[in-house]
Structure 1
Amino acid sequence: MPRDIPAPTIVNPLRQLSLEQLRRRTSMKWRTYPEDVLPLWVAEMDVPLAEPVAQAVRDAVALGDTGYPYGTAYAEALADFAGKRWGWDGLAVERTAIVPDVMLGIVEMLKLVSGPGDPVVVNSPVYPPFYQFVGNMDRQVVEAPLGADGRIDLGVLEDVFGRVGTGAARPAYLLCSPHNPTGTVHSAEELAHVAALAERYGVRVVADEIHAPLVAAGASFVPYLSVPGGGNGLALLSATKAWNLAGLKAAVAVAGPDAADDLARLPEEVGHGPSHVGVLAHTAALRDGGAWLDALCAGLDDNRRLLADLLAESLPAVRYEPAEATFLAWLDCRALELGDDPAAVFLERGRVALNSGIPFGTGGAGFVRLNLATSPELITEAVRRMAAALGPTALDRR
């Protein structure tokens, strides 16, 4: 009998690249600002590609397999991943479609369930492209702000649903799950309550679940379509965030059982938009990148603890609650009295680039979003620069 060979240990991907190597990158994160600025802003991770993903891309290039996407392999891999990771066996491949990316998929889903001028509800503060894309497609963004605890305020949501769910409009709710920027993981009970409200007021739910694989230890992601009443919803999922594949465009739209007819109306040409190499890469990530993802998530847990310790020591007036998901940190800087846009101060005086909270909508003023998907050394340097940006009195603001 052959003895079992243990799986190789994956080194923390967040510790594998030097600052010199990262500065050779030509993507948005590393080319938007001058070289003296430390970029911890846009949602790109400072990691090498997972080897199964890199191999899939190499194989495609070697074969010249760079045509149009075809087939259901991506959806099949996602369904298998969902079953293993989330205990969800309800992702039916026949109720899926490949789309260019999550945001363009959201646009297409909203076209299916709403019309020009119709309201789209969002939980602010929320991912800024929700406002941009929805506004550009001639829909009306309506905010239902999160509660003070960073969770969905179900009372506020019901009030808003009650307002938009009257008349001839076809309202929709764009759910961010897990939530960006707070990293909140919505519970099964919360999502079931959302589904019940949506049914009561005739609101269609479209769920952005792009950060779903990136959960902290002790947290559990719940797919919206898996909860009671969620069958009328549509969801967008992707390997983009968890495996750092923003430059390899692809995503999957998934319909609940009661939304299958809606997804069936998706124009065929939408499925021509994803990158075929992207589809291959995402499929490989979901099928064979689990060990790499586990190592990444463990590294992110370490970075959350590190950031909390660094802020407590150097910037104790900044309020930070380590998130249950995503690789983002939402920092409340209002006590620093830097105005509505502290990110501008940290950039100008400290040469560290963070996301301003203002574009995230109501509740974002006075906050910054920090990207934790980098090395502990760069996080340490970023906090040092942030503290230095406030001058010698920063440590006295306790």
Structure 2
Amino acid sequence: MTEIVSADPLDVLRSRTSEKWSEYPDDVLPMFVAEMDVPLAPVIRDVLHAAIDRGDAGYVASRTRLPQAFADFAARRWGWDVDPGSVFTTADVSMGIVEILRRVISPGEGVVITSPVYPPFFDLVTEAGGVVVDAPLLGSSRAGDPAGGWRLDLDGLEAAFRNGAKAFLLCNPHNPIGRPHTVDELRSVAALAARYGVTVVSDEIHAPLTQPGERFVPYLSVSDEAAEHGYAVLSASKAWNLAGLKCAVMVTAGPGPRSVVAGMPVEVFWRTGQFGVLASVAAFEAGEPWLDGLLGLLDGNRRLLGELLGTELPEVGYRPPGAGYLAWLDCTAFGWTEPPARRILREARVALQEGAPFGPGGVGHARLNLACSPELLTEAVGRISALR
């Protein structure tokens, strides 16, 4: 049965010590970092309390229930047949990406990203020794876009692969636009990657947050080619608000990628947090009723944001995300000479994520976190609209 999920009151939220609630003074509404305003799912809270009560805060075990729990969740949620023996843990998705890239490219080789995209992608490629090759998405956030919204530029990807890039860092569902890529697009990516000998590493951290009516397709599931050259990195951290507990899974489907991950130093796996494993097992085994309730809250907010913008800020381009809780706002029509998030913070006291770090196409844009109460979202838009 679906649980009812709502945001915590503002006074409770301001007692939190995480980045979202510590970075700015109390007169600022923080809607920048990808952290939700909801309480922990009861099943996760209970598991963590029990672990504290028994002093279970040591090193993560070499064998846990997490691979099987994730495989069962993937089968129920997405119809994805995952071998638990091909699921490996690490501290977070970013670490998993870097550790995989280090093993599939040589220093100085190209790694393709598709901007606008999660800003750390640029740094992760560099940390792994690669060189960023940008193949920007096609489309825009404006409702009247003749391209019909955002999508992968397959011709641009092929050109990057043909010119020597050795890996593709895919974001699916895509942050910041909240779009799950289609099965046809992903099959095309897999075929291109196979043709040019490219490894695909798919960041699928937002997958559990796919809205009903939308479809998330795991990259490794789309074809034998994808399984042969692909890796997926996922976590319960976004969907169940567990980022600080440090736990993610690296998933493979073919023997080659599996041997690469299995051959990593044991420290890669040991960096996983004990509480992160316990919480992730609880999430994947028993957290779906809460997750479904959360999706109801997020669905209401993504629709509410569209209504508020249509009434108060019609010049802002916005497409409701199909997955996740991040809204990509095209603010270029404001005509401001400074980045919109900077002015909005200074004058409206609403903290958004600046658009330029997402890539060249992010200039004049901002990312808004809508995983909050409807009241907070309404106040934020009201404050911003007062700047016009």
Tell me the TM-score range normalised by the shorter chain: over 0.9
Asked whether the equivalents of residues 173 and 323 of structure 2 are also in contact (C-alpha less than 8 Å), the reply is: yes
TM-score, with length taken from structure 1: 0.92
CA gap of 1:58–1:96, structure 2 versus 1, over 3 A, is same
2:298 counterpart (297, 300, 307) = 300
- Percent identity between matched residues is 51
Counterpart residue number, 1:110:
101
Secondary structure, in 3 states, of the residue corresponding to 1:247?
helix
Counterpart residue number, 1:351:
349
Asked whether the equivalents of residues 135 and 141 of structure 1 are also in contact (C-alpha less than 8 Å), the reply is: yes
Matched, 1:135 2:126: yes
- Farther-moved stretch of structure 1 (345-354 vs 137-146): 137-146
* 1:224-261 deviations in Å (ceiling 9; x for gaps): 00011211201101100000001111000011214222
TM-score, with length taken from structure 2: 0.95
- Farther-moved stretch of structure 1 (153-162 vs 43-52): 153-162
Superposition CA RMSD, Å: 1.1
Q: Which runs of 5+ in 1 are unaligned?
A: 1-6, 166-170
1:238 counterpart (232, 235, 260) = 235
Asked whether the equivalents of residues 168 and 201 of structure 2 are also in contact (C-alpha less than 8 Å), the reply is: yes
* 1:356-385 deviations in Å (ceiling 9; x for gaps): 110001210011000010000000000011
Counterpart residue number, 1:3:
none
Q: Which runs of 5+ in 2 are unaligned?
A: 140-148
Shift of 1:263: 1.6
Counterpart residue number, 2:69:
77
Asked whether the equivalents of residues 112 and 265 of structure 1 are also in contact (C-alpha less than 8 Å), the reply is: no
Counterpart residue number, 1:250:
247
Counterpart residue number, 2:383:
385
Shift of 1:135: 1.7
Counterpart residue number, 1:168:
none
Aligned ranges 1:1-398 → 2 under 5 Å: 7=1, 10-14=3-7, 17-70=8-61, 71-89=63-81, 91-148=82-139, 149-165=149-165, 171-228=166-223, 229-231=225-227, 232-258=229-255, 259-339=257-337, 341-388=339-386, 390=387, 394=388
Asked whether the equivalents of residues 340 and 365 of structure 1 are also in contact (C-alpha less than 8 Å), the reply is: no
Structure-1 separation of matches of 2:352 and 2:98: 27
* 1:31-64 deviations in Å (ceiling 9; x for gaps): 1111111001100000000001001101111111
Structure 2 counterpart of 1:136, one-letter code: E
How many pairs are equivalent?
Answer: 375
Secondary structure, in 3 states, of the residue corresponding to 2:303?
helix
Structure-1 separation of matches of 2:111 and 2:32: 27
Structure 1 runs of 4+ aligned residues shifted over 3 Å read none
Shift of 1:189: 0.8
Secondary structure, in 3 states, of the residue corresponding to 1:218?
coil
